[in-house]
Structure 1
Amino acid sequence: MKRQEHKNRKNQLKMNQNYYVHKDTRTIFESPTDGHSYFFGYYDKSPFDATDTLLLTHRTDFDGRPITAEDEAEVGFWNIGTREFTTIGVSRAFNWQQGSHLQWMPPDFQSRIIYNDRRDGQFVSVVYSVDSGEETVHSCPIYAVHPSGRFALAANYERLYFCRPGYNYPGVINRTWDVPIHEEDGIYRLDFYTGEVTQVIRTRDVVDIGYQSELEDCDNWLEHMMWNPNGTRFAFLHRWDSGNEGHRTRLFTADADGRDIYMFPDVGFYSHMNWKNDQVFTIWALVPSGRSKIMQDFSTSSSLLYKTAKLAYQPIKMLLGKKRAARLVRNTAFINYTDQSRELTILGREVLPDNGHNSWSHDERYMLTDTYQDDDCYRHLWIYDSENNSTESIGKFYSLYNDSEYRADLHPRWSRNERMIAVDSAHTENRKLIVLSATRKE
């Protein structure tokens, strides 16, 4: 039975140079094999302009290693129809996961482009005018641009250098920030009209919410800010280094001015998230139940019971694979949270088995997501139908670079009209930016 299911599954996919896509899915665009690596970055923004004809891209002449202070990435865009690439600048403040936060500026997503750079020994952000070619340089790098396009939230990248490998920028080493908690660290707000930078949330104030004395000796930082669609509130993560257990995470939201901060259940583990609408967002996390609390305490103990469980984990992993075995032990799932409440629902428990970078369609029915590599080093691309509680496989992509700072997560992004999907893929030595047609179950 399993052999027949595998055969049927294989017949539903077609191969294209170490990646497979659904038989009804077309490859609309793929960056060329020309010795360069092409990628966009994170999944919380779209590389497509308002017309879905221009595709923002980073281009490098290296791959397969961490980024150094000497490295540069061209920033520009492809014309999907003509296959022409236009360079608009060079970034010296980028990483493999999030790029330089390159993006089309709202609200029109067409006339201006913004990206981070390093100039004169300082991290900055650059706003580029598509029509005139002129640029405006701001004294602060951006993280999450407000939907109005008037201002942006900013992270402290000089601080992230010391505590967030893979999501930091090399090139500026300021030892002032190399402390567990810096009183001036936090989330900042950059006003694009005045250039003024103000602090809206202090890391210290977040640490003091549900205070735990152990945090005083850990590296603490704030990251992954995401605006809800109307820009009335944003979500962010508080993370700290817990030593051999890796980093731990708490989830918060705040209003546009950084006030009215709300903390969600302190389960210790939150991962990829995205807003479904202004009140609800979806996140892969530990389920905040009696069982999950037991498992959380259990997993961080040094008891004989924990040592016994570690031995039992190995045969479970052999049967189910590493990712699914870890999920079984930790009780993790996609959760729909309602902001500023304890209301939650578990999403697709039977059909969404893995952590992924998720984003919702405008009608709130379909969720686009991916997976980390499976045991054969393939990353899977899915569309989840929330009405039917089912998933549709869009494809799977072989990955050369895994479990490292320079891994290539698919980070799937909808086009503006949601008829296309863009992914970053390292199925070859030089990663590629690929655009696929978006198929759905009706």
Structure 2
Amino acid sequence: MSNVSAIQHFCPIRRVGEGELHHFFGYYNKNVWDRTGRYFLSNQVQMMTQNLTGKEVAKVGYFDLEDGDKYIPIGSTTTWNWQMGCQLQWLEGYKGHSIIYNTRNEDGEETVYPDFCSTIYNVETGIEKKLPLPIYVVAPNSEYALSVDYSRFQETHRTIGYNATHQEPELPLAPENDGIWRMDIETGCYKLILSLKDLFNYRHVPSMDKAIHWVTHLEICPNSSRFLFIHRWTERVEDEFCFLHRLFTINEDGSDLRLLECTDHPIPQLAKDFDPDALGTFDYEKSEYQISHPVWKDDDTVIVWGPHKGNIHYHLYDDKTNQVKVIGKEQLTENGHMTFSKDGRWLLSDTYPDDVTNERFLILYDVENNQRYNIGSFYTPPDLGKHNRCDLHPRWSPDCQQVCIDSVHEGSRQRYIIDVSELVNS
């Protein structure tokens, strides 16, 4: 682990739920708690780790934190992975309690992605509603969701893909009929608002010519008017060091595309004699060219781990002016999964496993006082591998008094809640 200035301030932690089954959520940027803080979303599976084939069933549900952490299942799905789960999240713009998650399209209806769709579950009525596309992210106002091709991830970024029901589809390099789709949550109507061919043509560079293209890390700003995404392309999908990146923002209807950063660069790994097996599981996360884990701080600024003018840091971009500043230059020196508290004072993040100790730090960074706090350290078995790993993926509670993580430090895949109230209220 890097030698940085940090105060060790380990906070009270508890596991959510008991029993022999395994529980996890997935990505760091979703709303796990409902707005009251009582219900806590979670996937439930029988195994701690397994190479997924698309047939494994995960239960979908939530813990009742005010009723002894009772787990209440609402359904199941085979469209999930260890990193993202099934994109389970609350529809916060709806009255009452409604949950949306990805499911497999088993009725044979043809859509742009015939294998995958999504399901809304109303907790009060128990009524389910099917939507024709899988979701990547839902707008905070719950009026629309953005969708991408999870089969393309199977080719380009298998860690976050879903297996096809039968045979994986053939994937053109940069098609004009695939890219980012906007789907209306109420009606299910959908429209392609930005194609991969559009991105191929926008400020084109020669490294795109023979590469396969995709989009990832879509995030919608708090007022739901714009979203960000990463455009990636590569000639060698099996080696993440060969990935090239661009960070964009765009209006929710596909207008006003803005390029915030591009990391097009020479790639020695494309040489025929290069051995990709010489690289460690997490070496790519420490690449000096990677654009990773962008999220909105507010409606106008984006934080991301990535390079700018030759230096890689946590960078904060102004979406309107494209001005860039470094956050935590000396304290935040590694890639992590970051989100801000609602007041913008605290940055929550984590680290990838140390090469020697296999420990990861959970971090709170005080932006106003330029102080890093290590609030937890968690061991991960080194043999989990890339696709089955369990990142901490820290997430805030609605009142920003608690955070939660997924972890395997006790020998099973489980959920944990950490009380950070003493620190954030100091």
Q: Which amino acid aligns with 1:129?
A: N
CA distance in 1, matches of 2:223, 2:339: 16
Q: Which amino acid aligns with 2:368?
A: E
Structure 2 equivalent of residue 54 of structure 1: 39
Structure 1 equivalent of residue 101 of structure 2: 115
CA distance in 2, matches of 1:230, 1:91: 30
Query: 1:21-36 counterparts in 2 under 5 A?
Result: 22=10, 25-32=11-18, 34-36=19-21
Which segments of 5 or more consecutive residues in structure 2 lack a partner in the other structure?
A: 109-114, 265-289
Looking at CA atoms only, which structure, 1 or 2, has the larger radius of gyration? 1
Structure 2 equivalent of residue 159 of structure 1: 152
Q: Which amino acid aligns with 1:282?
A: I
CA distance in 2, matches of 1:80, 1:246: 44
Conserved? CA contact 1:281–1:338, under 8 Å? yes
Structure 1 equivalent of residue 255 of structure 2: 259
- 1:51-75 Cα offsets, whole Å, 9 max, x none, are 1111000011112232112101000
User: Is 1:412 aligned with 2:398?
Assistant: no
Conserved? CA contact 2:233–2:243, under 8 Å? yes
Query: 1:15-414 counterparts in 2 under 5 A?
Result: 22=10, 25-32=11-18, 34-81=19-66, 82-108=68-94, 110-120=96-106, 122-172=115-165, 176-243=169-236, 244=239, 245-268=241-264, 269-287=290-308, 289=309, 292=310, 331-374=311-354, 375-400=356-381, 403-414=385-396
Q: How much is the aligned-residue C-alpha RMSD, in angstroms?
A: 2.0
Range 59-68 or range 41-50, more displaced? 59-68
TM-score (norm: length of structure 1)? 0.83
SS state at 1:162 partner: helix
Which segments of 5 or more consecutive residues in structure 1 lack a partner in the other structure?
A: 14-21, 293-330
TM-score (norm: length of structure 2)? 0.86
Q: 1:175–1:77: structure 2 CA closer, same or farther, 3 Å change rule?
A: closer
SS state at 1:440 partner: helix
- Displacement of 1:178: 2.0
Q: 1:341–1:242: structure 2 CA closer, same or farther, 3 Å change rule?
A: farther
CA distance in 2, matches of 1:175, 1:414: 36
SS state at 2:159 partner: coil
- Displacement of 1:162: 1.9
Identical-residue share of aligned pairs (%):
31
Conserved? CA contact 1:158–1:173, under 8 Å? no
Q: 1:406–1:176: structure 2 CA closer, same or farther, 3 Å change rule?
A: closer
Q: Which amino acid aligns with 1:390?
A: Q
Q: 1:230–1:142: structure 2 CA closer, same or farther, 3 Å change rule?
A: same
Range 179-188 or range 252-261, more displaced? 179-188
Q: Which aligned runs of 4 or more in structure 1 are off by greater than 3 angstroms?
A: 172-177
Conserved? CA contact 2:35–2:92, under 8 Å? no
Q: 1:108–1:27: structure 2 CA closer, same or farther, 3 Å change rule?
A: farther
CA distance in 1, matches of 2:186, 2:245: 34
- Displacement of 1:78: 0.4
Conserved? CA contact 1:242–1:248, under 8 Å? no
- Displacement of 1:109: 7.8
- Displacement of 1:393: 1.4
SS state at 1:166 partner: helix
Q: 1:96–1:358: structure 2 CA closer, same or farther, 3 Å change rule?
A: same
Conserved? CA contact 2:300–2:318, under 8 Å? yes
Q: 1:45–1:255: structure 2 CA closer, same or farther, 3 Å change rule?
A: same
CA distance in 2, matches of 1:175, 1:212: 29
Q: Which amino acid aligns with 2:174?
A: I
SS state at 2:158 partner: coil
Structure 2 equivalent of residue 16 of structure 1: none
SS state at 1:207 partner: helix
CA distance in 2, matches of 1:42, 1:168: 13
